[in-house]
Amino acid sequence: MGPKPLTPKPNDLFRQRLDELVNLRHPLVQLAEHIDWSVFEREWAGLFPSQRGRPALPPRLIAGLLYLQHTFGLSDDDVVWGWVENPYWQLFCGETWFQHQPPIDPSSLTRWRKRIGEEGLEWLLTQTIRAAESTGVVKRQSFDKVIVDSTVQEKAIAHPTDSRLLNRGREQLVKLAAEAGLTLRQNYNREAPKLAGQIGRYAHARQFKRMRSSLKKLKTLVGRVWRDVSRQVARIPAELQDKSHELLHKVERLLTQQKKDKNKLYSLHAPEVECISKGKARQPYEFGVKVSVATTHQEGLVIGMRSLPGNPYDGHTLHEALEQLEILTDHCPKEVFVDLGYRGHTAPDDIKVYHRNLKRGITSRLKRDIKRRSAIEPVIGHMKNDGRLRRNWLKGAEGDAFHALLCGCGHNLRLILKKLRLLCALIWLVCYRRLIGRGARQPQFAIGAM
């Protein structure tokens, strides 16, 4: 089932090749030449153990689609249908002639991400780092000084409130009972949603005594439905047993958890979500997973991204971040600049870690470098606003790890494309001045067209 080996395709008399149709100085065309696509064919070959069945899709196609998706901040559907309309995207993904049909179903990207896994997706980030070296965006000595910080990758869930979660759990229990053919004493389809809306209005009006009273009533109704389904769990068909036990366990957690409990349940469809407080005045609590980000000190290139489930202390995660950084770049940093959240770190002794509270042995050069630690904040902001780091739609803890790595790939490719656009504009400007100097007619095209 492995992908077919790439073979040179002959010319077609009735079709024009993509490399003859597009502008070869376009940044995407130049970027494709700096990426070693053979790495994916070699490293992902072990993901196809069976020798029977339909051959898999070309690894370059999948790698190219994942790159384009997170470079331009698109969904699975948008990147596939945008690929049909854009000849530069098709050439970037290895096509020879223009295609008029989508290469894959958008749902195939989900299955490919699961098949590749976190280790396979790290190769995508590694190739963006090497492409940045090849294009001159970053130099090899830049890996000696890095900045490490953490942020929150929020999950695609509604803001968790007790009333919403309880009513949602009741709805899923009623739906499960209908699928299993159970007869409930009462489903409270009219009373429970009315109570949930009333609780929200009481909270908005700051009538907390009435809010707590209504919440207690709603919890009582949900508990009745939960006990009714629990008593009939033996009558549920075998194919629904696992689903029913999981749902009953989640609703039981909702009914028993208290305000100050740890490891609370904040979403029924994403139980791995954690409540993380980063001390922001505008957003005291964020619901998702903590992510470690490592960038070069000077250029802001992402050289490490890792999800950190369990909301660990930042200082205890520095060793893992540096370990991943060394694997991806094949280079061990000499100086690491962090914020005060990394005090009490577990980094190796041969790596010097600096933060702004250090006083002894700090030279003027180190003061300047420590002050530049905040350069990682706009990098995180760009990944959230220009990329897809702000909201993660992938399922489970694996989806958190996949999404973090791919967001780092997208940021690096945007940096490379920016450098290639500036280089293209510089070449055009030089040519334009030479034409004007020879008295030639002014060209009727703009820099943006290139």
Return the CATH number at 308: 3.30.420
| Residue 149 and residue 289 share a domain | yes
Which residues in the chain come in under a pLDDT of 70? 1-2, 4-13, 49-51, 428, 432, 438-450
- Say if 199 falls within a structural domain: yes
| Pair 24, 107 in one domain | yes
**What sign for the dihedral angle of Cα 300, 302, 304, 309?**
positive
pLDDT, residue 199, reads: 95
Cα gap 261→269, rounded to integer Å = 20
pLDDT value for 42: 87
Domain range for residue 29?
Answer: 18-135+410-437
Within a domain: residue 261? Answer: no
In the prediction, which pLDDT does 52 show? Answer: 72
Give the strand pairing for 352-354 and 145-154. Answer: unpaired
Q: Would you state the pLDDT for residue 425? A: 73
222/367 same-domain check:
no
Angstrom distance (rounded) from CA 340 to CA 352:
15
Q: Are residues 319 and 360 in the same domain?
A: yes
- Assigned domain for 385 exists: yes
Distance CA 418, CA 421 (A): 5
Measured between alpha carbons, how far is 416 from 411 in angstroms, rounded to an integer?
A: 9
Q: What is the pLDDT of residue 13?
A: 61
Beta strand pairing status for 335-337 and 145-154? parallel
- What is the C-alpha R_g of the chain? 27
Same domain, 430 and 347: no
Same-domain pairing of 416 and 365: no
- Read off the DSSP letter of residue 239: G
**Which of 448, 420, 429 shows the shortest CA–CA distance to 27?**
420
- Residue with the two structure tokens 């790595």: 405
| pLDDT recorded at residue 286 | 93
Domain-terminating residue out of 256, 290, 310: 256
Confidence (pLDDT) at 118: 92
Same domain? 31 vs 178? no
H runs (alpha helix) in 182-207: 191-204
Would you tell me how many other CB atoms lie within 10 Å of the CB of residue 92?
23
What are the backbone angles phi and psi of residue 287, rounded to the nearest 5°?
A: -115, 110
pLDDT in tens, 384-415: 999 999 999 999 999 999 999 999 999 999 99
Does residue 7 sit within a domain? no
Give the span between the Cα atoms of 249 and 200, in whole angstroms: 26
Instruction: Clarify whether residues 104 and 178 are in a common domain.
Output: no
**Whether residue 167 sits in one domain with residue 65:** no
Does residue 425 belong to any structural domain of this protein? yes
Structure confidence at residue 449 (pLDDT): 45
Tell me: do 237 and 376 sit in the same domain: no
Residues 293 and 328 in one domain: yes
**CB-count burial class (<10 Å; 0-12, 13-18, 19+) for 315:** middle
The number of residues making up the chain comes to 450
Give the separation between CA 141 and CA 66, rounded to whole angstroms.
29
226 and 131 both lie in a single domain = no
The pTM for the full model equals 0.87
Give domain status of residue 426, yes or no: yes
Q: For residue 432, what pLDDT is reported?
A: 65
Number of domains in the chain: 3
| Positive/negative CA dihedral, 134, 138, 142, 143 | negative
What pLDDT is stored for residue 441 in this prediction?
A: 56
How crowded is residue 101: how many other Cβ atoms within 10 Å of its Cβ?
A: 5
pLDDT score for 448: 45
**Eight-class DSSP state of 350:** T
